[in-house]
Amino acid sequence: MSVSTSVTARRMVAAALAAGAMIGSTAVSASAAEPRFERTHVAISRVQADAPGFNDRSSRSLNAEWVEITNTARRGVNLNGWTLSDKDGNRYTFRHYTLAGRSTVRIHTGYGRDTSRDLYQDRRNEVWDNRSDAATLKNDRGRFVDSVSWGRHHDRDHGRDDHRGHGDNRGHGDNHGGGHHGR
């Protein structure tokens, strides 16, 4: 190999290495500048918007109207400041509550004593519309986490149409039971 070929080959290798280093540093700085997306393992798992029996605004009736939220991760998630709301703007804010790993909490509409498995909104009126509504969960920064809708026009209002647990505790269909329609 001649000296000129050796110098040319070394220059080409050096140029390739320098280009690779520049691309690598650009990729690192670009990824470091972008916010990391952390997927949450918390979701609305079931909804019972229409309490069984007569809707008489009694504690029993109000507490039979609920939304369940499940954490599928191994670790607990601090829900302090998270909100659960309906389409009319009724909102429940979680206070001092951590949802344990691989567990579910049921948020009842009426009054009761909060436990690790049951939380109460302490309301005197129904929240969830039996015919058509959406339960939306947002984190403490107001960012969308999950939503479940049911009834008419839900496909235009929210992206997901899965009726999880609405009314029948099996995860499908509308249940308007007993010929009454609360809210």
Q: What is the pLDDT of residues 48-67, one digit of tens each?
A: 999 998 888 899 999 999 99
Helix count and strand count (H, E) for the chain: 3, 10
pLDDT digits (tens, 9 = 90+) for 114-139: 999 999 999 999 999 999 999 999 99
Grade residue 70 by pLDDT with cuts at 50, 70 and 90. Answer: very high
* 147 CB-near residues (< 8 Å, 6+ apart): 44, 134, 135, 136, 137, 158, 159, 160
| pTM of the complete model | 0.66
pLDDT of 84 higher than 50: yes
Burial class (CB in 10 A: 0-12, 13-18, 19+), 71: buried
